[in-house]
A and B are shown apart, each in its own frame.
Chain A
Amino acid sequence: MDGILSYGVYIPFYRLSGETLRQVWGAGAKGEKAVANADEDSLTMGVEAARDCLQGMEKYAVDRLYFASTTAPFKEKQSASIIAAALDLRDDVIATDFSGSLRSGTIALQLALDAVKAGAANQVLVVASDCRIPPPSSDAELVLGDGAVAFLIGRDAPIQIERSCHLASEFIDVWRLEYDKLPRKWEDRFIVEAGYSPFVKKAVSTLLKSCNLTMKDISKACYYANDTRVHRSMVKSLGLDASQIQDPLFGRVGNTGAAFALMMLVGALEEAQKGERILLANYGDGADACVVLVAGDMGNKRGCLQRYLESKAMLDNYGKYIKFRNLMEFEQTPEHAPRTSLSQMWRERKWVYRFHGHKCQKCGKVQFPLQKYCMFCQAEEESLEEVNISDRRGTLFTFSVDERAPVADPPNVLAAVNFEDGGRFFSQMTDRDVTSIKVGMPMELTFRRIHDALGVHNYFWKCKPVR
């Protein structure tokens, strides 16, 4: 039966704590939230979740890539096509963005299933990611977190989506207009009482009725809620008992928008036993609900969520957070601004986006970036075979810690990473604890936003200590 072949998740390295917010604003709840690094956005986090999802899978079998987010980095210009390139997918995939709604992730998931069911695609990769900026000093500041999930949808899947129910509504509660950086909203009680609560209840009850199930048949319930109070208020009205509630990760990751309910689903799948049924319910411009049946075994997939939850570093001050999200105007120096060249990036796309290197057929050496002649034996380009090396791991050969480079998360750590199977990547190191960097430490690659130059986001790869 059609369903989920694989899943992946990504939670950024940094956390912002309520304690830090309390120091700045005089008030702040307990707990923390996940914060995208300065070089991350919903697109790059989506790439990481998708890479996690595709581990051990055949990525060239993917026919479609659906990217869902309310915070796509470009207003005009697809994110999905850049993600597809970073994942080194085939170029004849349908890549498209789903946007505008917190429900875009679950809608994309449903449409992916429909495409597989209809025989229009064999495998669809669904990526949901969000990096929403809460208004500073608002209650939402510690609630909205950053993160991403990915699901590979296909045939003969170990995890099946038995039935689903969808409601669309013109209800307006949260929105952003073209030039809004921060989300706007109507009164909280109106949102919950007139929108969220009735829509979710209706979707869930309709769903359960349609497949002759009751809440007792559900092992875990994964449902969206704006914050922890609203989440708790639904326990009773949905008829759940405490053991059925999937941890929404408030106080650890936060509400990750389009990825939020789906990240709970990943959490539930990580611990689910064969035969269990999971309820997934999402909200935004209406509601969705579906029953997910664990029909088979996910094998070695488990553990990715826990790994990302545990591997973290606290943002030690609010100033860094301001810089990461560009919430203030900073000193403008006459220093040369970063620059880019889209035509050059296009010519070099095979290594800039896809991270292809060369393996020399004459001397066997792996090299990056792509070369005109072998950098070891000077063999002609025809002897150089293009290979994807983005998933290789390596060790740190040497590094420096530049305190003066104008980066958003100083200092700038420059690194030379030697890959396990040969080849070297000279790169910036991200997501690192500067005090614990050591020659020889294990490294992996990550897709990041290098800078915004000439008004365009410029993406490339960096290295980071293995998380």
Chain B
Amino acid sequence: MRTGVKDKVAIIGVGCSKFGERWDAGIDDLIKEATKEACGDAGIEIKDIQAIWLGTLQGSQQSAGGASTGIVVSQTLQTQSTPVTRVENACASGQEAVRGAAYGVASGAYDLVMAIGVEKLKDTGFAGLGVGFPGKWEPVYGAFGTAPGRYAMAATAYFAKYGLPFDEGKRILAEISVKSHFYGARNPKSHLKREITVEEVLNAPIIAWPLGLFDCCGVTDGAAAAILVPASEAKNYRKDYVTIKGLGISAGAGWGKERDDYDFTYWDATRMAARQAYAEAGIKEPNSEIDFVELHDCFSIAELIATESLLLCEAGKYKQEFTDKKAYYHDGNMPINVSGGLKSFGHPIGASGCRETYEICKQIQGKAQETSRQIKGAKTGLSHNQGGHPGRFVCGVIIYGAP
């Protein structure tokens, strides 16, 4: 009978590189920066690590075909023959690395492992994501369908379904971006550090209508890492360790957007992954049992819909529950992305899941780098990432909490 991983695995150390356009750092520098901090935080050395899971979409986009095996870790950290497993589930690759590491520990195969997420995107010579080129999945089907273009369709559909006039819909989204920048400005490791106003968001150039410049996250380099051990041994390393309460991965309907009954206003894979994680964690009412959330806000509309699809509020009620109440600020009912999120902290694709682990552990430990964004009494945090595009997502959800 399956028993799940709840409270079987503990995080005893986390690390995160400075995020940004890291012209000074290659994929190896990013990996070293994040893992060194994680090992120091855990009080261990690299040679103590028995196995490593690496989450990355394309590693460094400069490498041929974008492929990176586990060797990118072993050659950087000189781990010699330690097992390194490279996992890839698009933007949920970071979650996938933590999941693999957690299962490695929970199975009893290892008692000290590391999860790393990394992406080096800014060596390509062009702005934007290199993965948006035509013919990525099919030679001609969905050609030129960029991430902003695909997510913007969800905004159009959401506005239409809930009868939001364009200006009102844009304003709801703008408030989300203002909040992201507010926290990005309060996070020393974040990519975007300038606070913005709703007016600035509304007047910014359109990227993919209805989404404008500030509705979209940038392209960021970065890495993050976590050290995992059996929960029973965690206190040997530190008192304020954090345990995994539940996790879920859902490869959603790959042909979801092709179904004429899909309306683009919810993320099916997010709902499914959240249900898996809630079930494992024994959470019945996420809205009251989760204290704060780090979720996948690659676009403002992504944050809005993910909030609803994580079942934190009823579908279509985001404005009343979050915008109007400012519930998503660090002192609100349900703080969301008070790290700055993907939008302002940055979104190096494979790194984001591990970066959320970092933020959640720091918040639970009361160690948010700037006290102005420390959530009071945070005990349970949810991490969410999804790869793909509306109607075609793979999603990872992990719930972390104080033991």
B329 CB, min distance to chain A CBs, angstroms: 29
> In the complex, which residues of chain A have a beta carbon less than 8 angstroms from the beta carbon of B130?
335-336
A313 within 8 A of B: no
How many chain B residues touch the partner (CB < 8 A)?
Answer: 46
How many chain A residues touch the partner (CB < 8 A)?
Answer: 52
Distance between Cα atoms of A375 and B144 in the complex (Å): 24
Q: Which one of B32-40, B67-75, B231-239, B256-264 is at the interface? A: B256-264
B162 within 8 A of A: no
Query: Per-position contact with A for B121-141: 1 when CB-CB < 8 Å, else 0?
Result: 000111010101111001111
> In the complex, which residues of chain A have a beta carbon less than 8 angstroms from the beta carbon of B146?
402, 404-405, 412
Q: Are A401 and B259 interface neighbours, CB within 8 A?
A: no
Contact with B126, one of A333, A348, A418 (Cβ below 8 angstroms):
A333
A458 within 8 A of B: yes
State which residues 199-245 of B face A: CB under 8 Å: 205-211
Q: Are B157 and A398 interface neighbours, CB within 8 A?
A: yes
Q: A334-B125, A340-B139, A352-B140 are in contact. Are A375 and B258 (CB under 8 A)?
A: yes
B283 CB, min distance to chain A CBs, angstroms: 29
Q: Are B144 and A367 interface neighbours, CB within 8 A?
A: no
B389 CB, min distance to chain A CBs, angstroms: 10
Interface centre among B253, B260, B391 (most CB of A within 10 A): B260
Q: Are B139 and A344 interface neighbours, CB within 8 A?
A: yes
B155 within 8 A of A: yes
Q: A336-B130, A404-B208 are in contact. Are A398 and B255 (CB under 8 A)?
A: no
B149 within 8 A of A: yes
- Total number of A-B contacts with CB less than 8 angstroms? 154
> In the complex, which residues of chain A have a beta carbon less than 8 angstroms from the beta carbon of B399?
none
A397 within 8 A of B: yes
B148 within 8 A of A: yes
Distance between Cα atoms of A407 and B142 in the complex (Å): 13
A426 within 8 A of B: yes
Q: A338-B143, A416-B153, A460-B141 are in contact. Are A402 and B148 (CB under 8 A)?
A: yes
Interface centre among A335, A366, A400, A459 (most CB of B within 10 A): A400
Q: Are B135 and A339 interface neighbours, CB within 8 A?
A: yes
Q: Are B138 and A375 interface neighbours, CB within 8 A?
A: no
B60 CB, min distance to chain A CBs, angstroms: 15
> In the complex, which residues of chain B have a beta carbon less than 8 angstroms from the beta carbon of A415?
153
State which residues 407-429 of A face B: CB under 8 Å: 407, 411-412, 414-416, 418-419, 422-424, 426-428
Distance between Cα atoms of A412 and B145 in the complex (Å): 8
B164 within 8 A of A: no
Q: Are A416 and B143 interface neighbours, CB within 8 A?
A: no
Q: Are A375 and B208 interface neighbours, CB within 8 A?
A: no
Interface centre among A336, A344, A368, A439 (most CB of B within 10 A): A336
A399 within 8 A of B: yes
Q: A335-B133, A404-B207 are in contact. Are A416 and B140 (CB under 8 A)?
A: no
A40 CB, min distance to chain B CBs, angstroms: 15
Query: Per-position contact with A for B324-352: 1 when CB-CB < 8 Å, else 0?
Result: 00000000000000000000000000000
* Interchain Cβ contacts under 8 Å between A and B, 28 examples: A334-B125, A335-B128, A335-B133, A338-B133, A339-B133, A352-B141, A366-B260, A367-B259, A369-B258, A371-B255, A375-B255, A397-B260, A400-B155, A402-B149, A402-B207, A402-B209, A403-B207, A403-B208, A403-B209, A411-B209, A419-B260, A424-B259, A426-B142, A450-B143, A451-B140, A451-B144, A453-B134, A458-B140
Residues of B within 8 A of A (CB): 124-126, 128, 130, 132-135, 138-146, 148-157, 160, 205-211, 253, 255, 257-261, 263-264, 391
Besides A398-B154, A404-B128, 16 new A-B residue pairs in contact (Cβ under 8 A), listed by A number? A334-B125, A335-B130, A338-B135, A340-B135, A340-B139, A376-B261, A398-B160, A400-B155, A400-B210, A401-B152, A402-B148, A405-B145, A418-B260, A426-B258, A451-B134, A458-B139
